Structure 1
């Protein structure tokens, strides 16, 4: 079972990167933020739909006297079915417009991938705004990952939420996240991605502070909805900004780095929360305070990212990998 879970997680992460790589290929720079926002927004509504169907089935199964060993596997089947059905339009109607790059056929695709990655690191100075933003992304996304993974635990253990209230909170947060992604998509095409992201990080700071000082469940409901808005917005902007900083011929490569940074932050953030929680003898508020530092640091690092310069570097890039690779 663990092998299948691990395999599915790897495939999901790979698919997320591949989908993101299509963004600069099928939209213009003028509406990239909006379309990225639409994608995240629909994704949250899809998650909400799946959760609703699974909850309806679980309620029915419990009424029939079924045990968890019977109805939990069915919810996995429901999720897989919805995932497969919603993925079908991509395979049926989406066509690649980019011309696949040529490479030395004596080398494996893995060797080529590592060679491209090595070449990218050598070109860090040329794409300094992209590199700096990836560092920024890794910092603030560690905070996002921590909140996503541990918000439910915080709501239960600190705020006293029961299971039913927690499920409703999660569903409401999905709705506000979809709204945040949708609104943010329009804003970043008008304001620019960096200023929009700065606003979302400020919202994150307010949201975490609201959760930190919450003393009643009603306060947590307010904090949760602010978190939803910030979560949808920040994820939408991050992907769009990396797309803007990526040369068209290397979008897949650079958005793969975006995915890698997201995966690493999903480890660093929750791990730091757990360590602080352990050292503070289970003080969740102290742990949440450490999470707040990721957003503050991310906002400070973002001030070094120049959006115009980053887009210019992507536009003017004619860099190719050494002929021994291609």
Structure 2
């Protein structure tokens, strides 16, 4: 794997992130040992984390609570493929936040439901009076061949992942613009910029979220609202385990061979320091960026850009393309 060498502005960004991550780790260790901890710069802020009942979302919620943030723990309590209503998931994370000395309320809203997400925002404001951070993390996946993908499957995945992100950003963004500040974090996936067979609905939703993030970031920058996108590398979650099981089964390779090729899954809390950093005062000038977290590496992901191009005065004919295209765009 090639070393990531960001431009100077991004090196500065990474340096600030490392500083914030160090402070977070020191505070977390002190809290675990019962020592007095310093007040966080996020003390008193309010966050909504969707899909926070387990996995990466749960770790975001707990990390925010450790930083003094009041948290709306949203989780429908559904299955990985969608559906379900196990309210105990969100309730357990609320209890964990309270055990840390933090404040939290549970939300069981289905993010795919426009009205339900609006109600979730109202509940957050009623409980805590403001909203500073949104982490739109909720997602489902249904793996399978595209030619066997039903319309219902497609609509379900796009509805939760893409429309769910829109619903939350739409409602939360209005509150933040009125406040004149806020941090929105969306979640994409490496499956949208690396070919990912048998996951077209999921990959499509995550690619759309990436573009959605860049567009919204440009719109809300003047209002003091930052909008960035997180991309988890292979992570030890339900979704990660499902992907590994499907890939190894469909390709006939062993888990050992798979891990040798791509590495072992990272822990679900690997993204939490970056999420905290992007919500912190040190990151108020960082917006419209996509960051992938893969173990001990953070990669800044560029959106699709134009590569090589070829011009022919007067335009191209079919004969020109037959003669030139294979050579011109040969990988």
Using the size of structure 1 for normalisation, the TM-score is 0.28
Report which of the two has the higher share of strand.
2
Using the size of structure 2 for normalisation, the TM-score is 0.27
